[in-house]
Structure 1
Amino acid sequence: MPYYRYRASDARGRITKGRMEALHDTDLEARLKTLGLVLMRATPHGTRQRAGTRLPARALIDFLFQLEMQLHGGIPIRTALADMRDAGDAAEAAAVRRLAASLLTRIESGATLAEAMQAHPGVFSTVTCSLIRAGELSGQLPEVLGEIVRSLKWQDEMLSKTRKLLIYPLFVTAVIGAVAFFLMTYLVPQLLGFLRSMGGEIPLHTRALLALSQLLADYWWAMLALPAGMALGLAALVRRRPALRYRLHQAVLAMPYVGGIIGKSILARLADTFALMYRSGIPVLEGLACCEQVSASLVFQQAIARARARIANGEAISASFAAEPLFPAMFIRMLKVGETTGALDTALGNINYFYSRDIEASIARVQALIEPVMSIVMGLILGWIMLSVLGPIYDTIASIKV
């Protein structure tokens, strides 16, 4: 089904631009009319959805939560999607409303909800589509949607906490850099000019500061462009070479403090996703294949793939993961207990709970460590600048005979 770029207006005369799936111009006009829009102009724009199209995490959670609530209330899936498509002002949640309209169109054409979601890979992950398919087959779609919403909320909370860990040092680094740049390019040259005019001897550390100040003043643009260029070049190289990407992911996991938090967050998400799929009746091998795809680390992806291959050859789940040194002893013990008792989903839930608590404690410890370290770094930088500038000035003034 083709896509169209359109320009439309609402009842208040406000112009809206967007992209929508439709059979033809007339179908597009009818779809926009249901959204309270009047088509002004439309141009064909390919037959596939852009891979980069996404919904913000919280918008997706809200969309699935609304769908879950309506299905729990006994409202048919088509009616629920139609309500979500038509709800609210035309200028609000346009992406969500277009998504609901697209899903409804595909379902009315004979597709299942899972098949309709698969047409939006930038919005719905492989895990979500697999869970929805299992929910449709088992007749427990509302319950599965509730589990997906819970999992997405947890992932969003973990991501938010991890971002908080990075925001403070980045902010302090930016402040230190801005202050140091101002001192080095504006204040230091003036003070050193004053020092030269007094004829005093300039010590070595002050001459080094002056050389660095001159370098920053003349080539500040290169010092900004060089790290950005190196980062872009490394990113391009990593995308093209899986072996290099693997090494980079290994290095990230080996980083002090931060690497441990990242590894624990991956383990927590693995346990949460695997438990969700196992509880929904999805076969173990299929569930692990989905877990492999959603893992953010190539190191974990390959370890899960090797464990899955052993399980396919008849080994126990716990033994298959135990063969991978990447997975800690506690993770393996809980898997073994779950296998032995027949409550694997409960054991996985406990793993997720343990690592979630551990991540929160680790983030708090790292934040408590970062603050004094950053203060010391700032003090050393500013102290060196002040000592190199004010020390010679003080010596020169002290040597003047009254």
Structure 2
Amino acid sequence: MTTTMYNPPAEASPSAAVYAPRPKKVKQDDVIFITTQLAVMIDTGVPLTEALDSIADQTDHTGVKAMISDISNQVKAGVEFSAALEAYPKAFGKLFVALMKASEASGTMGEMLIRGSDYMQQERETRKRVLGAMIYPVCMLSFCMLVVVALLIFVLPRFEKIYAGKDAILPAPTRFLLGLSNSLVTYWPLILGVLAVVIGGGVYYFRTSGGRLIADKLRLTLPLFGGMYRKASLARSLRTMATMVSTGVSMLDGLLITAQSSGNLLYEKLWLDLCDSVKEGSSLSDELAKCDLVPRTITQMISAGERTGRLGDVMVRIAVFCEDDLKVAVKTITTMIEPVMIIVMGLLVGGIAMALLLPVFSVSKIMAK
């Protein structure tokens, strides 16, 4: 297997001329479509520049057309295809660029394009699974909060008039809800302002390195969802590593790219530390065995791949295993979350209803007043 060293791009060189304005954003679906089409054309013998020009002519997306035309013009000017792709890091990640570098060295561009397309499709599916598992509980929780706020603002004030002057005999839950309702109605501008400041501050903080680290730690330790996030990060990392190793990219470069695409700072640190250890001569499996973020079974499989000299094939199988495990985790969560959310909503709404009806049970005392 030919090993190709991947050198991260430094500053843009003069040779990588810019012939068209950079598109602000290119969707991953567009990149997958471009890559798949390009792979088919290259495999059927169409020259690279002709294939790029053909794809540019077919697309209706102005930004994508400009990007593909620019890449084609750079290749025609003598720039390597991988170097031209580096000018669009948001569309073509480091892994894809590394695959193209490997293909230029080995003459297997069609195969590498297919691998890159497959990788991006797997990444997209992983994100969709995790997002799909989160959408339902978030929507249900949001709806539940809206119902509670509506009850506190519009329904409870009417009960407050009924119970006016009866504070002394009202149960504590009823008094608490009436007080909360009165506070919301009276101080809602202040409450909205405080919420806006808290949310804005939280968003800003969690975009900092320290905030991101805390958020990533929380994701991995969340009840019910922590295991899913852990499996998603592991599946993404191992899929990246498998793609790198199986295509001949060096281990060190594969570890660096895996760290950058892991999607979690804890896993990013893990792969960067592994890169340093491997650089010093340590075994990948030996170092993984010291980490709690990777299951022991996976470490043992990687160790077997190292011993047999089939690490690339083993990594691909491990990646498939992790993705299947993630599917099971997502399915389990979506199955469990529905009854949990129904119970939560029932407790909240039912609790409010009970607090409002408790005084009715002591109506004789109220009438006596």
**Is this a same-fold pair by TM over 0.5?**
yes
- Does structure 1 residue 66 correspond to structure 2 residue 68? no
d(CA) in 2 for partners of 1:296, 1:227: 29
Q: Which secondary structure state, in structure 1, belongs to the residue aligned with residue 90 of structure 2?
A: coil
Query: How many angstroms does 1:221 deviate by?
Result: 4.3
Given residue 382 of structure 1, which amino acid in structure 2 is its aligned partner? V
Given residue 362 of structure 1, which amino acid in structure 2 is its aligned partner? A
- Does structure 1 residue 230 correspond to structure 2 residue 198? yes
- Does structure 1 residue 293 correspond to structure 2 residue 260? yes
Name the stretch that deviates more: 188-197 or 108-117.
Answer: 188-197
Kindly provide the CA deviation profile for residues 183-220 of structure 1, in whole angstroms up to 9, marking residues without a partner as x.
11011101221232899943222111111101222333
Q: Which secondary structure state, in structure 1, belongs to the residue aligned with residue 25 of structure 2?
A: coil
**Alignment CA distance shift 1:214-1:145 (3 Å):** same
Identity, % of aligned pairs? 25
Query: How many angstroms does 1:161 deviate by?
Result: 0.9
**Alignment CA distance shift 1:281-1:238 (3 Å):** same
Superposition pairs of residues 320-359 of structure 1, within 5 angstroms: 320-359=287-326
Kindly provide the CA deviation profile for residues 322-370 of structure 1, in whole angstroms up to 9, marking residues without a partner as x.
2333222012111111111111111111211221111111112222222
Q: Report if aligned partners of 1:86, 1:97 keep a CA contact under 8 Å in 2.
A: yes
Query: How many angstroms does 1:225 deviate by?
Result: 4.5
Query: How many angstroms does 1:397 deviate by?
Result: 7.3
- Does structure 1 residue 87 correspond to structure 2 residue 58? yes
Q: Report if aligned partners of 1:192, 1:389 keep a CA contact under 8 Å in 2.
A: no
Query: How many angstroms does 1:49 deviate by?
Result: 4.5
- Does structure 1 residue 76 correspond to structure 2 residue 43? no
What is the RMSD computed on CA atoms of the aligned residues? Answer: 2.3
- Does structure 1 residue 100 correspond to structure 2 residue 68? yes
**Alignment CA distance shift 1:249-1:399 (3 Å):** closer
Query: How many angstroms does 1:163 deviate by?
Result: 0.8
Given residue 220 of structure 2, which amino acid in structure 1 is its aligned partner? L
Superposition pairs of residues 44-193 of structure 1, within 5 angstroms: 49=22, 53-88=24-59, 92-193=60-161
Q: Which secondary structure state, in structure 2, belongs to the residue aligned with residue 86 of structure 1?
A: helix
Superposition pairs of residues 263-274 of structure 1, within 5 angstroms: 263-274=230-241
Given residue 54 of structure 1, which amino acid in structure 2 is its aligned partner? K
Aligned match of 2:349: 382
Aligned match of 2:244: 277
**Alignment CA distance shift 1:387-1:325 (3 Å):** closer
Q: Which secondary structure state, in structure 2, belongs to the residue aligned with residue 123 of structure 1?
A: coil
Kindly provide the CA deviation profile for residues 202-250 of structure 1, in whole angstroms up to 9, marking residues without a partner as x.
322211111110122233344444444334323433444x345334322
Q: Report if aligned partners of 2:238, 2:319 keep a CA contact under 8 Å in 1.
A: yes
**Alignment CA distance shift 1:145-1:234 (3 Å):** same
Q: Which secondary structure state, in structure 2, belongs to the residue aligned with residue 196 of structure 1?
A: coil
Q: Report if aligned partners of 2:216, 2:265 keep a CA contact under 8 Å in 1.
A: yes
Q: Report if aligned partners of 1:198, 1:396 keep a CA contact under 8 Å in 2.
A: no
Aligned match of 2:5: none
d(CA) in 1 for partners of 2:156, 2:338: 28
Q: Report if aligned partners of 1:114, 1:129 keep a CA contact under 8 Å in 2.
A: yes
d(CA) in 2 for partners of 1:351, 1:224: 49
d(CA) in 2 for partners of 1:58, 1:397: 68
d(CA) in 2 for partners of 1:190, 1:346: 69
Kindly provide the CA deviation profile for residues 61-116 of structure 1, in whole angstroms up to 9, marking residues without a partner as x.
1111111111111111110111111125xxx3222212211111211221111111
Aligned match of 1:304: 271
Query: How many angstroms does 1:258 deviate by?
Result: 1.4
Q: Report if aligned partners of 1:265, 1:359 keep a CA contact under 8 Å in 2.
A: yes
Q: Report if aligned partners of 2:235, 2:326 keep a CA contact under 8 Å in 1.
A: no
Name the stretch that deviates more: 72-81 or 317-326.
Answer: 317-326
Compute the TM-score of the two structures, normalised by the length of structure 2: 0.88
Superposition pairs of residues 390-401 of structure 1, within 5 angstroms: 390-393=357-360, 395-396=362-363
d(CA) in 2 for partners of 1:393, 1:200: 14
Given residue 211 of structure 1, which amino acid in structure 2 is its aligned partner? G
Q: Which has the higher contact order (CA 8 A, sep 6+)?
A: 2
d(CA) in 1 for partners of 2:351, 2:223: 28
Query: How many angstroms does 1:294 deviate by?
Result: 1.0
**Alignment CA distance shift 1:54-1:193 (3 Å):** same
d(CA) in 2 for partners of 1:198, 1:307: 68
Name the stretch that deviates more: 73-82 or 378-387.
Answer: 378-387
Q: Report if aligned partners of 1:335, 1:344 keep a CA contact under 8 Å in 2.
A: yes
Q: Report if aligned partners of 1:195, 1:393 keep a CA contact under 8 Å in 2.
A: no
Q: Report if aligned partners of 1:308, 1:320 keep a CA contact under 8 Å in 2.
A: no
Kindly provide the CA deviation profile for residues 43-71 of structure 1, in whole angstroms up to 9, marking residues without a partner as x.
xxxxx858xx3321211111111111111
d(CA) in 2 for partners of 1:286, 1:224: 49
Q: Which secondary structure state, in structure 1, belongs to the residue aligned with residue 164 of structure 2?
A: helix
Q: Report if aligned partners of 1:134, 1:282 keep a CA contact under 8 Å in 2.
A: yes
Aligned match of 1:257: 224
